[in-house]
A and B are shown apart, each in its own frame.
Chain A
Amino acid sequence: KAGVTQTPRYLIKTRGQQVTLSCSPISGHRSVSWYQQTPGQGLQFLFEYFSETQRNKGNFPGRFSGRQFSNSRSEMNVSTLELGDSALYLCASSPQRQGEQYFGPGTRLTVT
């Protein structure tokens, strides 16, 4: 089976812009979670989607949003980018609730 894929792998944006990141889960996995990774804050949970519904949400401002499509693919959007949004954004998929989560390679977002 193909692993979790994320596009794009690298992205450079300017403050104030918005960005959309995409994640394709492992085939058959219906749960998709997003995490932000920075050297200062480590890995932090953003949100989780299951069957097109947001099931959990982390402590991030409303500028961070996401959605899931009927084929389980997911996107996350960050609006009005700030310098502090520079991070590695990771997507993980899971075949069941509270089971093994498999991560993609991440999207490296740089905000200038």
Chain B
Amino acid sequence: GESVGLHLPTLSVQEGDNSIINCAYSNSASDYFIWYKQESGKGPQFIIDIRSNMDKRQGQRVTVLLNKTVKHLSLQIAATQPGDSAVYFCAESIGTDKLIFGTGTRLQVFP
């Protein structure tokens, strides 16, 4: 796929299990964070976002947790499905639309 680096960290989970994808962000001044999913041959797809005045935000089957103390972001996917297989990127920004992306994590779901 277009998104993949050659040596992306990979998370392998069984269908139906919960997945947790972690991301360490770089700038303590970042005030907006966003998770994207990218499937092979496609552009990144918005999953969920969170602002720095929040610690947790939930969407449909997904939860994002923000720990500003250690500059850590996580994405939890409940009841992981084969269609969740993709590369996941976290991104941060500081007051602008300039997103700084992480390197990505490949999620593999096996039956």
Interface positions of A (Cβ within 8 A of B):
4, 31, 33, 35, 37, 39-40, 42-45, 48, 50, 55-56, 58, 88, 90, 92, 94, 97-106, 108
Q: Distance (Å) between the CB of A78 and the closest chain B CB?
A: 18
Bound-complex Cα distance A90 to B101 (A): 13
Contact with A along B90-102 (1 / 0, CB 8 A): 0101011111111
In the complex, residue of chain B having the shortest beta-carbon distance to the beta carbon of A97: B97
Are B97 and A104 in touch, CB under 8 angstroms?
no
In the complex, residue of chain B having the shortest beta-carbon distance to the beta carbon of A4: B43
Q: Is the interface of A mostly helix, strand, loop or mixed?
A: strand
Are B43 and A103 in touch, CB under 8 angstroms?
yes
* A-B contacts, CB under 8 A, total: 75
Q: Which residues of B contact A88 (CB under 8 A)?
A: 2-3
Tell me which of A39, A50, A55, A94 has the highest count of chain B C-beta atoms within 10 A of its own C-beta: A39
Q: Distance (Å) between the CB of A45 and the closest chain B CB?
A: 5
Are B42 and A105 in touch, CB under 8 angstroms?
yes
Are A33 and B2 in touch, CB under 8 angstroms?
no
